[in-house]
A and B are shown apart, each in its own frame.
Chain A
Amino acid sequence: DIQMTQSPSSLSASVGDRVTITCRTSQSIGSYLNWYQQKPGKAPKLLIYDASSLQGGVPSRFSGSGSGTDFTLTISSLQPEDFATYSCQQSSSTPWTFGQGTRVEIK
């Protein structure tokens, strides 16, 4: 199975900050990496697919980059509604696996 490691596991940031979350995979997955946002008590929401493609309806302040084993999710200017948990997921091979999540909290 492909192991997913996200860092940091949590972070505190202020509105307007630039936030970067990293996801590393145990083997190369090309660009088959997706990012999700999850708020407490809610289902996850797809933000980014294929490493850098923005899902429809997602604000442009979200962006993704990377290939191979190292990937990044960036929020260019953190908004109040962005405080949530973010998870990466590889779609290169089954079983499809997720990172453990990064919780973004208000500073």
Chain B
Amino acid sequence: EVQLVESGGGLVQPGGSLRLSCAASGFTFSGYTMNWVRQAPGKGLEWVSFISTSGSFTHHADSVRGRFTISRDNAKNSLYLQMNSLRDEDTAVYYCVRDTGSNPRFDSWGQGTLVTVSS
């Protein structure tokens, strides 16, 4: 069974930093591209970041580019999101998401971790 378990969320002040982690199990982690997708309270879903299987290629949404960095450790079956210069509008549940296909569909999701940016 595919499992994605996020951790690292919490309350942080504007301008602060946070590192999210996602532990993957039940599949060959190194064989899949991965993403972070977020959902602000009461709002729709927003794709945040993508990383290739090896980690050599990454892509971020304009809203987080230059502030967030996605990375992975295939030896540890783990995905990360380093979030710096956090803003109020980054408050959201962050999901670790596996994708599949050349035109990707998000086929497995973690339970999410809540990040709250507030003073």
Using known A-B contacts A98-B44, A100-B44, determine if residue A91 contacts B104 with beta carbons closer than 8 Å.
Answer: yes
A95 touching B62, Cβ below 8 Å: yes
Residue from A42, A91, A99 in contact with B101 in the complex, judged by beta carbons closer than 8 Å: A91
Interface size class of A (residues with CB under 8 A): 20 to 34
Cβ contact within 8 Å between A98 and B110: no
**Once the chains bind, are A94 and B45 in contact (CB under 8 Å)?**
no
Q: Are A44 and B103 in contact (CB under 8 A)?
A: no
Q: Could you count the A-B residue pairs with CB atoms below 8 Å apart for me: how many are there?
A: 53
Taking CB atoms, residues of chain A closer than 8 Å to B45 are 36, 44, 87, 89, 98, 101
CA–CA, A50 and B105, complex, Å: 8
What is the minimal beta-carbon distance from A14 to any residue of chain B, in angstroms?
Answer: 26
Per the CB 8 Å criterion, the residue count for chain B at the interface is: 19
Q: Is B27 positioned at the interface, with any CB of A under 8 Å from its CB?
A: no
Q: CA A63 – CA B50 in complex, angstroms?
A: 28
Q: State the CA gap A94–B62 with chains docked (Å).
A: 11
Q: How far is the CB of A54 from chain B (nearest CB, A)?
A: 12
In the bound assembly, the distance between CA atoms of A36 and B107 in angstroms comes to 9
Closest to A34 in B: B105
List chain A positions with a Cβ less than 8 A from chain B.
32, 34, 36, 42-46, 49-50, 55, 87, 89, 91-92, 94-101
Give B residues with C-beta under 8 Å from A. Answer: 44-47, 50, 59, 61-62, 95, 101, 103-107, 109-112
